[in-house]
Structure 1
Amino acid sequence: MRKVTIVGTGAIGASWTALYLARGFNVVATDPAPNAETDLRRFIDSAWATLEVLGLSPNASRDHLEFTRDMKQALADTDFVQESGPERQLLKVKLFADIDAATPPDSIIASSSSGLTMSIIQSRCRHPERCVIGHPFNPPHMIPLVEVVAGTKTSPETVQRALSFYRSIGKKAIHVRKEMVGHVANRIQGALYREVVYLIEQGVLGVADADAAVCWGPGLRWGVMGPNMLFHLGGGQGGIQHFMDHLSGPVSTWWKDLGTITEMTPRIKRTIIDGVLKEAGDRSIEELERERDTVLLQLLAARAQAEHAVQPDLLDVADRIP
């Protein structure tokens, strides 16, 4: 695959575009918004220093980007489509049908949809067998995870091709074997956040302390290993067997006491908004993004070093992004 088409250049589409350019692809992007091209090129310029730290492929170049408002033109002769349009079901179904009609039949059409199922999205496509979910975590040019999910009409070959393609560009692609609304990572994230909101709503702790409880506790460990492997270590010398035999009972007790909050009331929305703004202080969104990206780069570099796949100077990244 050499030509990638990005349909929709909002936050997710722009981040995908930057990544594909950094991996040496020819990228054609399309979006009907009036300032789409200007905003896209500005984002790529801003993200490029970060991508340089992460490592550029030999053919990487921002000059390999072409922008057009003509979606049919953008899709002509493409090898891979990364759709990142608005998360609205009717729009997405029509958009996929239009993309399907305009692309070569052997190309793959992947959707960045964060929650819709591919069975619905592909329902009006003439070639649904080459349509698949390729859901990233934001920002895609930095966070490695991609969830690959088939629809009922997606071929097994397409799933394997998509997994291989994403892995070839350095993504941690996982195969979600069963369709569920929200896929997997967002469901996990949503379950955690529901309990966070419940604890705040119950007055157990404030917004800033809730954030601290996650990022300075389990969040640090989750950046190293997943919960199953961590509980294997939590079982001591007996490993996961000891954990299941002796510690799974207390965990089950916690489950029974978890919050059952099912909606964001106006009061809890206001509490969280006020708490977040107080926690952010005078730091702008741009400053907070830089703080996030600097720490993410350091974490990614540490992970890569642990896997013996990074140059030592990659760890010194704090002053190398704008």
Structure 2
Amino acid sequence: MTPYGRSIRKIGIVGCGVIGASWAAYYLSRGFDVTATDPAPGAQAKLRDLVEQAWPPLTRIGLAEGAALTRLSFDDDLAAALAGVDFVQENGPERVDVKRDLLARISAAIDQDVLIATSSSGIVISQIQSAAINPARVILGHPFNPPHLIPLVEVVAGQDTAPEAVAAALDFYERIGKKPIHIRREMKGHVANRLQAALWREAFYLLDQGVISVADLDTAIAHGPGLRWALLGPFLNLHLSGGDGGIGHLIDHLGPPIESWWQDLGQIALTPQVRAKAVAGVEAVLSGRSLAALTEARDEVLIDLLTLKAAQRPLP
């Protein structure tokens, strides 16, 4: 057994906002004991409310043996909350100073072989892990929102992270039903967020240039390439588009046009004017429909899609 290969039974959640609460719900659904902490006023009530909201869709997906809401506990004191935990998922504010302070306090409260995974969406681990006791066990475990439904977890090592810690984290996330990927080099925003950011940049540019409306642009993705992206990634989709010759044939024949599109992609800044166009466009699409209703509808379809994908022949 590696130094980080301990049996994991109890999860510590630090930070109980939307991401932390979603993580807590998922770990509970997998049959773990979960103990959480957050210094914000009313944090415990908010956490329990969010977990209860996530429980019906998790129940529909299927709960692990022994999964129960009663296995969630909360303590305002970080050290007390983390007593005896076997894995920590940190979800604090996206600030280097806050993350460093949290890692210092978390690592002082737990055994030195307990992995600490941060849910940071953009901060690189090497900026923050040195604040921890035994920084070799600090990794990135970045989920996608909402973590209780989306399987992807990005795992990244910092300059001080032990290879054994990365291996243990990848194994743990996979065993609990996630789809972890190993990002082999630190980059701001990691991988999936960078891919999203590339699309967002062109989306805002096209909106600002008057090329398309918010409604039509969202339709273009949701009812076009987004359907394929839910099944296969960009490279395998390109491979299929190449016919018998695959991706090599596609690059040979469509490479020059694709390169010309790249060169024509826009530069955009999120000015007040661009913000106003985006907000007005979204409000027009929603037409009074609440955020809660939209979220519920999205989650219903997402669960159906996940169920369908699990029941069919596995795709890469």
Which category describes the TM-score, using the shorter chain as reference length? over 0.9
Moved more, 152-161 or 124-133: 124-133
Q: Deviations over 1:52-106 (max 9, x none)?
A: 1111001111110011001001112211000001111111111111111111101
Moved more, 242-251 or 23-32: 242-251
1:249 maps to 256
CA distance in 1: counterparts of 2:36 and 2:126, whole angstroms: 25
2:94 maps to 87
Q: Does 1:151 align with 2:181?
A: no
How does 1:1-322 map onto structure 2 within 5 Å? 1-261=8-268, 263-307=269-313
Instruction: Provide structure 2 residue ranges, at least 5 long, that are not aligned to the other structure.
Output: 1-7
Q: How many angstroms does 1:139 deviate by?
A: 0.1
Classify the secondary structure of the residue corresponding to 1:175: strand
Please tell me whether the aligned partners of residues 200 and 207 of structure 1 are also in contact (alpha carbons under 8 angstroms).
yes
Q: State the identity as a percent.
A: 53
Q: How many angstroms does 1:160 deviate by?
A: 0.4
- Look up the equivalent residue of 2:289 and give its one-letter code: R
- TM-score, normalising length: structure 1: 0.94
CA distance in 2: counterparts of 1:232 and 1:23, whole angstroms: 36
Moved more, 16-25 or 273-282: 273-282
Q: How many angstroms does 1:126 deviate by?
A: 2.3
CA distance in 1: counterparts of 2:149 and 2:133, whole angstroms: 34
Instruction: Provide structure 1 residue ranges, at least 5 long, that are not aligned to the other structure.
Output: 309-322
Please tell me whether the aligned partners of residues 76 and 104 of structure 1 are also in contact (alpha carbons under 8 angstroms).
no
Please tell me whether the aligned partners of residues 28 and 72 of structure 2 are also in contact (alpha carbons under 8 angstroms).
yes
Q: Give the length in aligned residue pairs.
A: 308
2:4 maps to none
- TM-score, normalising length: structure 2: 0.96
- Look up the equivalent residue of 1:126 and give its one-letter code: I
CA distance in 2: counterparts of 1:285 and 1:218, whole angstroms: 25
CA distance in 2: counterparts of 1:67 and 1:290, whole angstroms: 27
Q: Deviations over 1:173-208 (max 9, x none)?
A: 000000000000000000000000000010000111
